[in-house]
Amino acid sequence: MENLSLILILLGIATVLAVAANRISLPFPILLVLVGVGIGFIPNLPHIELNPDIVFLIFLPPILYSAAWYTSWRDFKQNLRPISLLAVGLVLTTTTAVATALHFVSGIEWSIGFVLGAIVSPPDAVAATAITQRLNVPKRIITILEGESLVNDSTGLIAYRFAVTAVVTGFFSFWKATAQFFLVAIGGIAIGLAVAYAVAYLHKVLRNNPTIETSLTLLTPFSLYLLAESLHVSGVLAVVAAGLHLTWKAPLLFSSRTRLQAVAAWDTLIFLLNGFIFILIGLQLPDIMKTISGQYALPELFLYAFAVCFTVIIIRIAWVFPGAYLPRYFSKRIRERETTFNWKFVTVVAWTGMRGIVTLAAALALPLKTASGSIFPHRDLIIFLAFSVILATLVIQGFSLPYLIKSLKIDAVDESELEEMHARSSAATEALIRIEEMYDSGLITLDMKQRLRIRYDLALARLTSSPVIIDGAAHESYAETEERLIEEERNLIIHLRNQGIIGDEAMRRIEYELDLESSRLERSRQLWDSKSY
């Protein structure tokens, strides 16, 4: 009960800090981690142990599933080359580089270095998205970073599994590990796609049952992750593959009510999970320091931490720039396909490598003993260095990223906004044409035609809705007038409810429709503002 109360308090703190982060323009994860560190040093605070199994099951599947749902499959495919280079090539390179650096500065055996390298190699999905989404970052950069974070956890965790096995058993076969790597990865993708087809069928059967369908979307990532892991394939890739497939099929699977309900439920869940994760990371520092104190001299710890953190940051820079330029230099096809290439974009990607919850969970999940019964060598040091990398990358890179983007003067033209305007305009125009055809064919009456035209004429008016200038005075646009009228309607139904003329149920039904219409108007206003591009 004590821990439950503390968890609720932490969730409340995370919610308040989210508001504070927006107001002071500080990336949400950084503020939460720093506050978590501060809270962790409060005397007599109840201890919350970060159970790695809970992290991998409760936190990882829904976050990856949600990220996959919001990832454009078209954009993912278009950027598959840079995503693969980062999610596979860079992760394995970082693993090797960290092992080398740790062995060089400490003399610690190579196998331990590879364990640490696998732990700290994958950047965090949540941190990258949470930090970049509030910045003026071009869509292609976000697509690459999100795509990398979807896949790199699987690469890192598979490498982690092999490295830990080598330490525990004292045996490692490169060729066997390579074959198992591809088997685990391909098996995870296959399981994910198979389950995705089954889930899609269930959604068709359950169509128009919003509560049940929303519950199914919430259960899918957890069940899929457990299934894949029980079959000894990648649960991460299974969840990502299913998410990418289902998001492509979603427009044909869900009713409008289900979509509205599911999006609201998922947004709330992911917000709470993200907030709790980063504040929980900060809380771990006091325990980590207690565990490692006395085992190593403080200067020695700082040397190891600096070497590992410097390697993690610098190896990404050293990988990203050649990985961006060399393929373009040798391939005309790549130059023709990737027309939005810009050295400023490459710089941002090279500097955005924050680590997070997966890194810490993997470190804490290290076994206590080897197969021979001896203590797992340097376990406490690995956990300390993993936390050091998380803190260093979040604070150093996370804090400096906004200033880097500002100094580079990156002009983030959001093509998705322009595409949305084009799609809305085309759909409304096509609907108006179809209305005329239906009237000419005698399928609808003149009265129906006139009523139907009102909606689509208004839709087009909103897309071109700017204040009207008459005799030098600015008058309201269509959208502004509609917003004012909706607010008047809302006030009226509240008044009727307060007077006892209508009940709460009737008010909520009307309020729901007004909320939908208000949301559409707000989106139209955002689209109009984006025309400044």
- How confident is residue 473, by pLDDT bands cut at 50, 70 and 90? very low
The residue with tokens 């804490």 is 364
| Residue 414 in this model has a pLDDT that exceeds 70 | no
What is the pLDDT averaged over residues 441-455? 79
Output the DSSP codes for 153-197.
HHHHHHHHHHHHHHHHHS---HHHHHHHHHHHHHHHHHHHHHHHH
CB 50 within 8 A of CB 390: no
Output the DSSP codes for 58-89.
IIHHHHHHHHHHTS-HHHHHHTHHHHHIIIII
CB 94 within 8 A of CB 88: no
Token digits for 457? Answer: 């004429």
What is the pLDDT averaged over residues 149-157? 83
Instruction: Tell me the three state secondary structure of residue 48.
Output: coil
What is the pLDDT averaged over residues 210-225? 91
User: Closest by alpha carbon to 361, among 281, 270, 291?
Assistant: 281
What is the pLDDT averaged over residues 255-262? 80
Instruction: Tell me the helix, strand and coil percentages in the chain, rounded to 5.
Output: 80, 0, 20
**pTM for this prediction:** 0.76
More confident residue, 374 or 113: 113
How far is the C-alpha of 249 from the C-alpha of 257, rounded, in Å?
17
Token digits for 227? Answer: 């299934």
How far is the C-alpha of 396 from the C-alpha of 281, rounded, in Å?
16
Burial of 359 (0-12, 13-18, 19+ CB in 10 A): buried
Most confident of the ranges 13-22, 113-122, 334-343, 350-359: 113-122
- How confident is residue 98, by pLDDT bands cut at 50, 70 and 90? very high
- How confident is residue 418, by pLDDT bands cut at 50, 70 and 90? low
**Is the CA virtual torsion 432, 435, 439, 444 positive or negative?**
negative
Q: What is the pLDDT of residue 472?
A: 43
Q: What is the pLDDT of residue 481?
A: 67
How far is the C-alpha of 349 from the C-alpha of 299, rounded, in Å?
32
Instruction: Tell me the three state secondary structure of residue 469.
Output: strand
- How confident is residue 389, by pLDDT bands cut at 50, 70 and 90? very high
What is the pLDDT averaged over residues 370-392? 87
Taking each helix axis from N to C end, the angle separating 415-440 and 504-530, rounded to the nearest 10 degrees, works out to 120
User: Closest by alpha carbon to 318, among 149, 90, 119?
Assistant: 90
| Residue 132 in this model has a pLDDT that exceeds 70 | no
Q: What is the pLDDT of residue 533?
A: 39
DSSP state of 375: B
What is the pLDDT averaged over residues 506-522? 75
Q: What is the pLDDT of residue 470?
A: 40
E-assigned strands of 201-291?
A: none
Beta bridge partners of 138: none
